[in-house]
Structure 1
């Protein structure tokens, strides 16, 4: 249930050289440590202001790539924490109530996001700060929980909509990008209110799902 192993540790855990393999729990602890140091640098050492500043030093490679370089520790922490949480979710598959455990995890991550955003600083994707990491983990935990719930309700048969998305990933990806461009071109997304944004997202997601399912049905009919 944990995948192939080398030296007793799952291959799904990170290894930074061929002779070092970490257990997923240790990866989570390292990720938390990296995230704490990264957040300290953002708040106390002025990294966030530097990353968000519009000014760039002409001819400076560091300044030209400050968002990518400045956010790198945060994304590394996100990767390690994701591995650790993913391993934990896999272990709950043998639990009598895996959906309850998954729901508790999703709620805990959502609470962590709300607390960190309120007490530390607003979410910043450009800096990949702690609130953004918590939000990303919470969002993905909710998605995994939704997939697991759908599979449980469907007696472990993949719903047609998910089969359509899985079977036509490249066309769906391209269609989603075109639809995103159309939305950005057709309306002021930054100035849209909350309910307008929710309505647009609902129409957008429904349209992508319907298009994917239609393409999947056509492909099945054509024998592909």
Structure 2
């Protein structure tokens, strides 16, 4: 009986062909309507909700995502409209006035952590970015909800990972996770661009130490899956490979590109890596190996993981390019810092200068326009394949994630408008010239989102373990929609409660 259920379960999550880009965008747009829009309207207009309790944050920030991929999956626009109507009513109220004057510098001289990612960043070095915290929490919640929801009938099969070609919500999730990690990998380069020119062996050894724990997690997952005879889909990564192995290798590959990053735009480098990946698939026979080669040895047994690695690295570098745009005070900061390194007369650019949000938004819009245009052009000849991580998939992930980060930035500018402040120009050695720069008056992201960002990798691990335990305890494939929603709701509540409990403590650094 167990073998029959295992076989049926593997068939249940196999052979899917996906949905459409428009449908996936509509589902994810619920996050834009629910995450920052309704929550920001509530906290900026109603004083009693200025500091929202956990349950309210869970309702506003988690439940809409769960509904969008289950009962509202076929009509996500209706859910977005409901939340936007509630937002419109709240906008009729006057905004709460901030009584404190706006400082011209974002530096209180302390070393309090700011959660722009899984790395520890300090306000003395890099100010927080609300839009990035919101985006990363959205991505993480969508990922952890979908990895369990896919095992239930209430989750449409069109949203499950595609077997070979197609676009789906879960195909988007894994690539977005890599893109997000690429964004935060820009932090050490922004804090010390000279890191690009440090000895290769030194950087490789340090990176190995950092990723060793993630590689061990990949081994533990392999042993757990094989030891419990857990249903698995080998065409995702292979027989022994898994996502943690890919995640641990990407930072190592980045070290090999530091020389190139010093001499060319990061986005162009990421695009060229994607082009090389497509050429290897189309002209070097890797595509044929992926689909037709028998799993006769350990290399061919893990052909999906090996062949897709370069494509995921392209996505990682695309994320890195976005990180160099949105994290520093101005989009040109990283490029100028690299140029100024060769000028002995130059001074260090100031990381804590007020952010120029309009310039950041303009550059994000330009990149989103280019990526969507290239995606539409390439898709005329090639289908999207998450299994291969081909060029259309890379461009789709880059366009989607850039667009949604842009959306979060625009919403923050609307709900928490910037003021103009006169500050010293850090590029002027004499310090006499003043420039007009935009200072965000926005607060940090909602506490629940900050909590998820602080321990996102730990939450992802717990979600994987919880998913396995639930599937071993319940025949999820045969559960009714009501029972499925009850289990998924409890699962989401427990994950968010864990994040909330440890919101002031970072449990693991990666």
TM bucket (normalised to shorter chain) is 0.5 to 0.7
Q: Which residue of 267, 271, 274 maps to 1:32? A: 271
Contact 2:375 2:396 in 1 (8 A): yes
User: CA 1:126/1:217 → structure 2, altered by over 3 Å: closer, same or farther?
Assistant: closer
Separation of aligned partners in 2, 1:53 and 1:134: 26
Determine if the alignment matches structure 1 residue 138 to structure 2 residue 399: yes
Separation of aligned partners in 2, 1:84 and 1:215: 32
Separation of aligned partners in 2, 1:109 and 1:180: 34
| More helix by percentage | 1
The superposition leaves residues 70-110 of structure 1 with CA deviations (integer Å, 9 ceiling, x where unpaired) of 22332333333332333234443425353344244334323
**Paired residue for 2:289?**
50
Determine if the alignment matches structure 1 residue 159 to structure 2 residue 421: no
Contact 1:150 1:159 in 2 (8 A): no
Separation of aligned partners in 1, 2:476 and 2:263: 45
Separation of aligned partners in 2, 1:105 and 1:30: 14
TM-score by length of 1: 0.65
Separation of aligned partners in 2, 1:164 and 1:95: 25
**Paired residue for 2:242?**
none
User: CA 1:25/1:69 → structure 2, altered by over 3 Å: closer, same or farther?
Assistant: same
Contact 1:24 1:83 in 2 (8 A): no
The superposition leaves residues 1-56 of structure 1 with CA deviations (integer Å, 9 ceiling, x where unpaired) of 732121887999x44399x4732734443333332232123123432122123632
Q: Secondary structure at the match of 1:156?
A: coil
User: CA 1:100/1:172 → structure 2, altered by over 3 Å: closer, same or farther?
Assistant: same
Contact 1:160 1:213 in 2 (8 A): no
Determine if the alignment matches structure 1 residue 186 to structure 2 residue 476: yes
Determine if the alignment matches structure 1 residue 82 to structure 2 residue 319: yes
The superposition leaves residues 171-199 of structure 1 with CA deviations (integer Å, 9 ceiling, x where unpaired) of 632454367666996349xxxxxxx9xxx
Segment drifting more, 99-108 vs 176-185: 176-185
Determine if the alignment matches structure 1 residue 96 to structure 2 residue 358: yes
Which structure has the greater CA radius of gyration? 2
**Paired residue for 1:65?**
302
Separation of aligned partners in 1, 2:385 and 2:368: 21
Contact 2:451 2:502 in 1 (8 A): no
**Paired residue for 2:192?**
4
Separation of aligned partners in 2, 1:102 and 1:17: 23
Q: CA RMSD in A?
A: 4.3
Q: Secondary structure at the match of 2:261?
A: coil
Q: Secondary structure at the match of 2:402?
A: helix
Separation of aligned partners in 1, 2:449 and 2:263: 28
Contact 1:24 1:84 in 2 (8 A): no
Ranges in structure 2 where 5+ consecutive residues have no aligned partner: 1-125, 127-189, 204-250, 332-354, 417-441, 504-510
Task: Tell me the matched-pair count.
Answer: 205
Contact 2:463 2:495 in 1 (8 A): no
Separation of aligned partners in 1, 2:372 and 2:402: 9
User: CA 1:109/1:157 → structure 2, altered by over 3 Å: closer, same or farther?
Assistant: same
Distance apart, 1:129 and its partner CA = 0.7
Ranges in structure 1 where 5+ consecutive residues have no aligned partner: 189-195
Equivalence map 1:187-202=2 (5 Å): 187=477
Q: Secondary structure at the match of 1:120?
A: coil
Separation of aligned partners in 1, 2:195 and 2:502: 44
Separation of aligned partners in 1, 2:499 and 2:195: 43
Equivalence map 1:119-134=2 (5 Å): 119-134=380-395
Distance apart, 1:127 and its partner CA = 1.6
Separation of aligned partners in 1, 2:358 and 2:194: 29
